[in-house]
Each structure stands twice: as C-alpha cells, then as structure tokens.
Structure 1
C-alpha cells in the first residue's frame, strides 16, 4: 500500500499525528517515526529560514 495513504487512513497510525516520519532510513521499508534533524528544533535557524523565505516571496 502507498505509505502516504497508509499513514493517512490506517488505524495503526491514528495516535501519531504531529510526529516526524522518516521514510529514508531504517530496516523497515515503509520507514519509521523518529526525531527530526536537530536543526528543525533550533529557533534561530527556524526564524532565519522564515526571514529568507519571506524575502524570496515578497
């Protein structure tokens, strides 16, 4: 089954909303839930990315 469809509709994942799903590594061909890259939690990096993105789209 397509992993996106499975994640959206399967009862197996009903309590996993908001978690980071890593489909690029691990022994499970579907992927697994894990912490995101540490930069994803760094407020300074997030704010810098938002400023850069806003500058590009303005």
Structure 2
C-alpha cells in the first residue's frame, strides 16, 4: 500500500467517526426539543383542565 492510500483510508475512518458523533448529538438535541414541546402541551392541557374543575367548585 502506498502512503497516500493509508492516509486516505484513515481520513475516511475519521470522517465516519466524526459524522457519527455529530449526527448522534444533533438527534439527541432534536428529540430533547420535541420532548420539551410535548411536555409544554400536556402541561397546558392539565392546567386548563384543573382551572376549569376548580372554577366550577367555586361557583
């Protein structure tokens, strides 16, 4: 094997490892953001349900 070929193979391996890490981090951030949105929506629904229940009791 020529020296240039070895560096090319090593470069490809490093590129794959870096891409794997970057994609993993990006997907974790996307899932975390989606989870926050879902939690906020559920919290709003629970808030309005509880508010309507307590408003009926006070009336």
Is the structural similarity TM-score above 0.5?
no
TM-score w.r.t. the length of structure 1 is 0.30
TM-score w.r.t. the length of structure 2 is 0.29
Higher share of residues assigned helix: 2
Higher share of residues assigned strand: 1
Which has the bigger relative contact order, CA under 8 A and spacing at least 6? 1
